[in-house]
Amino acid sequence: MGNRFGFWAILIFVAGSLIGATNSAIHEYKNETFTAKLNARFFDGGNEGLYASKPHDLNTSSSSSSDDDHHKPLKGKSFIRFDDVTFVRTIESASKQNPMQSTTGLVEAIIFEVKDRNRIGGHFLKSDVICCTPDLADTGSCSLGEVIINRESKDLDWPRQIKTFFKGNKTRVSMSPETVDITKTGMYYVYFVICDPALDGTRIRGRTVWKNPDGYLPGKVVPLMSFFWYMSLAYLLLGLVWFVRFVKFSKDIIQLHYHITLVIALGMCEMAVRYFEYANFNSTGMRPMDVTLWAVTFSSIKKTVSRLLLLVVSMGYGVVKPTLGGITSRVLLLGVSYFVATEALELVEHLGNVNDFSGNTMILVIPVALLDACFIVWIFSSLARTLENLQNKRNMAKLELYRNFTNALAISVLLSIAWIGLELYFNGTDPLLGFWRMAWIVPAFWNVLSYASGDIYIHSRMIDVSNHLGANATLVVSLAVCKAGAVVNGIPLYQVKGSCSHKLAPSRHGGEDC
Pair (47, 165) in one structural domain: yes
**Domain count of the fold of the chain:** 2
**Could you tell me if 137 and 242 lie in one domain?**
no
φ, ψ at 266 (rounded to 5°): -65, -40
Q: Regarding predicted confidence, which is higher, 16 or 274?
A: 274
* CATH number of the structural domain spanning residue 449: 1.20.1070
∠ Cα 124 126 130 (to 5°) = 75
pLDDT at 17 over 70: no
Which domain-ending residue is among 211, 228, 258?
211
Residues 225 and 296 in one domain: yes
Q: Report the pLDDT averaged over residues 397-416.
A: 77
Instruction: Give 335's contacts (C-beta < 8 A, 6+ positions apart).
Output: 304, 305, 307, 308
Structural domain containing residue 251:
219-483
Structural domain contains residue 404 = yes
Decide if 231 is inside a domain.
Answer: yes
In a domain, 71, yes or no: yes
501 part of a folded domain: no
Is residue 274 over pLDDT 90? Answer: no
211, 240, 255 - which closes a domain? 211
Within a domain: 1:
no
Q: In what order do the strands lie in the sheet with 160-165?
A: 35-37, 40-50, 186-194, 106-113, 160-165
Q: What does the pLDDT read at residue 56?
A: 60
Domain boundary among 211, 231, 264: 211
Phi, psi values for residue 52, rounded to 5°: -65, 145
Same domain for 115 and 229, yes or no, is no
pLDDT for residue 95 is more than 60: yes
Question: What is the pLDDT, as a whole number, of residue 302?
Answer: 83
Tell which phi-psi region holds residue 56, choosing left (phi > 0), alpha (psi between -120 and 50) or beta: alpha
Instruction: Assess if residue 306 is contained within a domain.
Output: yes
- Residue 429 or 102, more confident: 102
Does 509 fall in a domain?
A: no
| φ, ψ dihedrals at 319, nearest 5° | -125, -45
For residues 313-327, average pLDDT = 75
Under 8 Å CB-to-CB from 55, ≥6 apart: which residues? Answer: none
The verdict on residue 21 lying in a domain is no
Co-location of 336 and 405 in the same domain: yes
Shared domain for 75 and 180, answered yes or no, is: yes
Does residue 347 share a domain with residue 290? yes
Which residues are bridge partners to 79 per DSSP? 181, 211
**Domain check: are 249 and 267 in the same one?**
yes
**How far apart (Å, rounded) are the C-alpha atoms in residues 461 and 483?**
16
Whether residue 353 sits in one domain with residue 284: yes
Same domain, 304 and 434: yes
User: Which range, of 16-20, 183-187, 414-418, 440-444, averages the lowest pLDDT?
Assistant: 16-20
More confident residue, 475 or 395: 395
| pTM of this structure | 0.71
Task: Specify whether 175 is located in the same domain as 271.
Answer: no
Q: Are residues 271 and 411 in the same domain?
A: yes
Answer whether residue 344 shows pLDDT above 80. yes
Pairing label, strands 106-113, 160-165: antiparallel
pLDDT confidence of residue 352? 59
Using CA atoms of 420, 426, 432, 437 in order, give the dihedral in degrees to the nearest 10: -90
Q: What is the mean pLDDT of the chain?
A: 74
